[in-house]
Structure 1
Amino acid sequence: MRRHLPLNALRAFEASARLLSFTRAGMELRVTQTAISHQVKQLEDTLGASLFRRLPRGLVLTDEGLALLPVLTDALDRIGAAIDRIEAKGTSEVVTVGCVATFATGWLLQRIDRFKRAHPYIDLRLLTNNNRVDIAGDGLDLALRFGDGSWHGTKAIHLLSAPLSPVCRPDIAERLRKPSDLAQEFLLRSYRAEEWPLWFAVAGAPCPKIQGPIFDSSVAMAEAAARGVGVGLVPVAMFENELVTGRLARPFAAEVPAGSYWLSWLKSKDTTPGMRAFRDWLLETLRADASEVERAEAAPAPRLKSKAKAKGKMKVARKRRR
């Protein structure tokens, strides 16, 4: 049975517990010290437990008070935030998204401002992880994760394939002529031990003994590779900026399909308007990106004029000027 507790008494306790003073709590809430003390006593009587030990020089929280304070502070903060949104005439829905850090830094963060402009009423909360996710336990509405799309109790939509390929610092790439040359390098590993052997099989070279450090994040692995620690095997589509700017180089074109990025959520959870808006935006943006790449690849390469023709035109131009 839900117990009805007086809100003023709860606020009086929260302020007193935070400030450890009835007097200062009264000043904050603009009531007398006597009123605060009376409200706290009323709450203790209702709960049947002491929340403070009253000392000559202040207050000390009891175990019951220590247990109640953080829960009550969070609840009052949430109530205040909701009232602020209503007063601002713009109620918003909180959507909490867990995202593997590689996808966050390699794709999502570059485009997240577009989502906020399109959906200003959604309070998006992004929690990054190393791809080990407990949607229910972490309080997530949606999870962007890497794998095969099969996670117990969830629905999943395929977003983007992410084949793996070696990356390293440009000066290291210069000395790598063929895949077998990697046997002389420090190879960085993920916790998925099969990735390097699969890549060497695709590249048609024997897999050497791999003893490099193990990373739980492709972001950390790519950063180590950019610093010259060794050669990393990463989803190259997530590191286009580093490849374009020259922080990383890709010595070989061979790729191994080790998984994809997916959007997932619990089957038992009702889809809210905010969740649906984020999902639709995500899919639409990915389609737009793919269409842009297709147009760029289909565009004819600019024709280069031959040197002879260029010289001939220069001679004609000179004669006309004369």
Structure 2
Amino acid sequence: MARAPLPLNALRAFEAAARHLSFTRAADELCVTQAAVSHQIKALEVRLGFALFRRSNRGLKLTDEGVGLAPTLFEAFGAIDHLFERFESGGVQEVLTVSAVGTFVVGALLERLPAFRRAHPGIDLRLLTNNNKVDLIGEGLDCAIRFGDGAWHGMEAEMICTAPLTPLCAPALARMLRDPGDLVRAPLLRSYRPQDWPAWFRAAGLEQWAVRGPLFDSSLIMVQAAMLGEGVALAPHGLFRREIQGGQIVRPFSIEADVDGYWLTRLKSRPQSSAMRVFGQWLAEEFAGGLVGQTDVAHPG
């Protein structure tokens, strides 16, 4: 014969009392009397066959059994409360947790997010940043925006846009660069991708030479260093159009290396949710023309 389910009111009373370690404060929260809370918990203890609280000189304490039961109920009732808060605020939203390369977030995504939220109020977008190294399972992510060739093991990858690389430097340094060959005498800033500068040398028709400048794990930080006069960065200029237009940094040459691009990635083993599908379609539409706002070359003079 099946056992009767645990009484929900008693579980709620225990959860509140365990959270406050006080029958009085639990009663105030639940809008009942302290006697009602005590009665509910006593009934639950009889049903379970063990005590959940013990009294001491310092007040109410959980027994070992109470300590074991409380976290599960905290989580369960917390989730229920959160769900009803969403209903009360106009409907349930589907949570979408996305990790993205910081350079892409600052240079292209942030300015577009208000439009996404207006168009899709049913999606609760939660945005984290990464330096192109992510663990979707370990970090609890739905998908990630990464820079590369789209070939990541176990991943489905949808191209968002290409991101041509070009040299960027401070105006004072740009005035010393008359042609691409002058870069051999300039400090060249490096990213974690050793293939980038060689690709640009080939695009410029230059012989290869070893690049031994400072190494950065973020293009965003690397370009900040270039703005301070530390050297020449190689980065997607379309993501730094505001800094170029503001004169903080200069494109000394129009030559570009079209190496890789930005991709929306997700685990092949995980079914695509409706929010993931909507976000992917929105990205494809937003960046159908590439990184918008390409800037003119500021020739040093």
Bin the TM-score by the shorter chain.
0.7 to 0.9
Of 190-199 and 65-74, the range deviating more from structure 2: 65-74
CA distance in 1, matches of 2:41, 2:16: 10
**Partner SS, residue 287 of structure 2:** helix
**Partner SS, residue 111 of structure 2:** coil
For residue 167 of structure 1, what is the aligned residue in structure 2? 168
For residue 119 of structure 2, what is the aligned residue in structure 1? 118
CA distance in 1, matches of 2:50, 2:212: 59
Query: Larger Cα Rg: Structure 1 or Structure 2?
Result: 1
CA distance in 1, matches of 2:190, 2:261: 18
RMSD: 3.4
Counterparts of 1:6-85 in structure 2 under 5 Å?
6-37=7-38, 39=40, 54-59=55-60, 72-85=73-86
Identity of matched residues, %? 52
**1:91 counterpart letter in structure 2:** V
Structure 2 segments unaligned to the other structure (5+ residues)? 297-301
**Partner SS, residue 231 of structure 2:** coil
**CA spacing shift, 1:17–1:196, aligned 2, 3 Å:** farther
**CA spacing shift, 1:57–1:161, aligned 2, 3 Å:** same
For residue 203 of structure 2, what is the aligned residue in structure 1? 202
Is 1:238 matched up with 2:239? Answer: yes
The CA deviation at 1:173 is: 1.3
The structure that is helix-richer by fraction is 1
**Partner SS, residue 134 of structure 1:** coil
Structure 1 segments unaligned to the other structure (5+ residues)? 298-322
CA distance in 2, matches of 1:67, 1:55: 19
**CA spacing shift, 1:119–1:66, aligned 2, 3 Å:** same
For residue 225 of structure 1, what is the aligned residue in structure 2? 226
For residue 301 of structure 1, what is the aligned residue in structure 2? none
CA distance in 1, matches of 2:187, 2:272: 46
For residue 153 of structure 1, what is the aligned residue in structure 2? 154
For residue 141 of structure 2, what is the aligned residue in structure 1? 140
**2:145 counterpart letter in structure 1:** L
The CA deviation at 1:59 is: 4.2
Aligned pair count reads 293
**CA spacing shift, 1:67–1:201, aligned 2, 3 Å:** farther
**CA spacing shift, 1:219–1:37, aligned 2, 3 Å:** farther
For residue 108 of structure 1, what is the aligned residue in structure 2? 109
**CA spacing shift, 1:19–1:103, aligned 2, 3 Å:** same
Of 205-214 and 174-183, the range deviating more from structure 2: 205-214
**Partner SS, residue 111 of structure 1:** helix
For residue 179 of structure 2, what is the aligned residue in structure 1? 178
**Partner SS, residue 187 of structure 2:** coil
**CA spacing shift, 1:93–1:230, aligned 2, 3 Å:** same
Counterparts of 1:169-318 in structure 2 under 5 Å?
169-287=170-288, 289=289
